A and B are shown apart, each in its own frame.
Chain A
């Protein structure tokens, strides 16, 4: 491109840049910056304390590897359980109405705000050896408490609301119009669910599952209370970090960094998946109103073909 041309184009762009009429008071920006620092600074401080020469040996020690593998295994299992139960729960909450639905929704979402240790105690009195269901299970020879299963249950308990919440929101914003069209085209309920509803909310399902996975991976309180801390069986990465902090702080810092990296990746993925809930149902449905430059270019051609 001719340099002058490029220059004049840049000038034009600068000239038409709109005045920021929503300018904020400077002190708001200052306070926001302090808040952001408060979140970022501890991560930086921790990264500065990492013993880099020993980093690889620290995160690959036997106990660390066992904890990491256990965490991944249990978190993936918990995510699978969240999808298995969370999808039907979100569908029921979004697509039906019944008495007490608001109460049910509040109760289902309770683990979001409940201290995890309270969740752990509640699970203990449900599935523990003398718990509500645990005593019967115990008689059948199934002991859940302080097993890997208990870890998975703890993680599912705290992570389930994340999936239900994001999926229900997506289902509501997608609406039922496509489903109605499917029904008038002769599709049964299962076909509508499988070929219309679920594909439409797939992005929200993926990001909800990723969030659930992240929450499961970080689970500490409920796990410690309900599953204990047995190396290789119930000692997940957060528990390992907590224990190492007393004996080998460098190992704790190194493992913490691993979790930070995982968290960053998860947040990236969850943001990358565009929630279809925000999808404009008009795109393709009513391009007459919202013409993209692309479709506008096609307009004359379609007129001629017609």
Chain B
């Protein structure tokens, strides 16, 4: 059943529209307060919009506007909500929890219990059927919650950060379960984790400040972000720039050869992973002996291929001299910020190069590591609620 949604709620600065084709899963990404939960509550019927219309198949979920106010009761929407917390009814066993949906729709008790048993088996916790929620672990409870949501046979399944409350040791298994049950199912997953979006969703909607800032197929949005926010979410550097005869010229001065189509006037974006950005101090004449004058995951590997007059840098790599703005520790890498880009280096390299805030460095980027693509003119995709058509 196709799903279409359009709603505004001025008191929460919420103004979002999108559509979702039958059987597809949409990931909704965005920072806290972006309107993700508002979106889910509007769809589930726990919140009423000031204006808007949403339809699921032939059914109208809500239709509110001048002179009309249709708000279908939550229970008649065919929409199930799986929250961050399992929220299993504490006074019912796992089996009774799962059987709740079928029984609410009038299924006889025995049949509902048989259905529930099937679902508990499907999510891998059949042996816990008689347990009360108080005696389930977090992962077990969330599996039961998945079974309960699906046993209600929703036309649309909503998932609100379904893995966020889970222990890191349990989350992967539940993620795999969700990937399994979401296949071929119309679903909306709110998440802050791009990995969830990649694994679970066909399409991505990025919200910020109650608006859609990016929308499209998961692969596109997460490899070719068009906003700084989308880039941060995808863990990429986004350099804005324009087409020049040589190729791409970034607003920070980065020049990368590019054979792409000539689109005069169009703004271009360049995306590159921080791990693919190398850093050296060669330009300042401090190249140490050998190949330690630079740092980056690929530089050392390529030394043999590129050794020559040009030093340890691969032929054709783009270089940009800049001052380091910030040095940030991130687990087992050090992230160096310069010229609006981030580069992830090994701590030992940062020490041997003597990189500190204010140090002059050269950022090195290989053409094969970047994606260059046109950025849409500031228009519907950036500003409006209207432009986000997903899954069509």
Contacts and interface: CB of A to CB of B under 8 A. Distances in A.
Contact of B74 (A177, A184, A294, A299): A184
A191 B101 CA distance: 11
A279 B90 contact: yes
Interface of A: 177-178, 180-188, 191, 195-196, 199-200, 202, 279, 281-289, 291, 294-296, 298-299, 302-303, 305-306
B138 A183 contact: no
Contacts of B286: none
Interface string B145-182: 00011001000000000000111011011101100000
B170 A299 contact: yes
Contacts of A196: 89
A306 B128 CA distance: 13
7 closest A-B pairs by beta carbon, nearest first, are: A306-B173, A284-B133, A288-B138, A187-B104, A185-B101, A183-B74, A285-B85
Nearest to B96: A195
Interface in B25-83: 44-46, 73-77, 79-81, 83
Q: SS class of chain A's interface: helix, strand, loop or mixed?
A: helix
A161 to B, nearest CB: 27
A204 to B, nearest CB: 13
Contacts of B95: none
B86 A306 contact: no
Contacts of A184: 44-46, 74-75, 77, 79-81, 152
A283 B125 CA distance: 18
B75 A283 contact: no
Given A180-B46, A200-B90, A200-B91, A299 B169 contact: yes
B136 A185 contact: no
A294 B139 contact: no
Nearest to B81: A184
A183 B177 contact: no
A46 to B, nearest CB: 42
A199 B44 CA distance: 24
B316 interface: no
Given A183-B73, A187-B75, A305-B125, A288 B177 contact: no
24 contacts: A177-B83, A180-B46, A180-B74, A183-B45, A184-B152, A185-B152, A188-B104, A195-B89, A196-B89, A282-B85, A284-B132, A284-B134, A285-B133, A288-B138, A291-B138, A295-B135, A299-B167, A303-B139, A303-B170, A305-B124, A306-B139, A306-B170, A306-B173, A306-B174
B263 interface: no
Nearest to A288: B138
Contacts of B134: 283-284
B127 to A, nearest CB: 9
B291 interface: no
Contacts of A288: 137-139, 165-167, 170
Contacts of B152: 184-186
B100 interface: yes
A103 B44 CA distance: 34
Contact of B87 (A177, A295, A302, A303): A177
Given A184-B45, A186-B75, A288-B170, A283 B90 contact: yes
B88 interface: yes
Interface in B119-135: 124-125, 132-135
Contacts of A282: 85
A303 B169 contact: yes
A186 B104 contact: yes
B168 to A, nearest CB: 10
A177 B85 CA distance: 10
A177 B82 CA distance: 12
A184 B156 CA distance: 11
Contacts of A294: 135
A209 B66 CA distance: 49
Contacts of A298: 137, 140
Contacts of A296: 137
B87 A287 contact: no
Contacts of B148: 185
Contacts of B45: 183-184
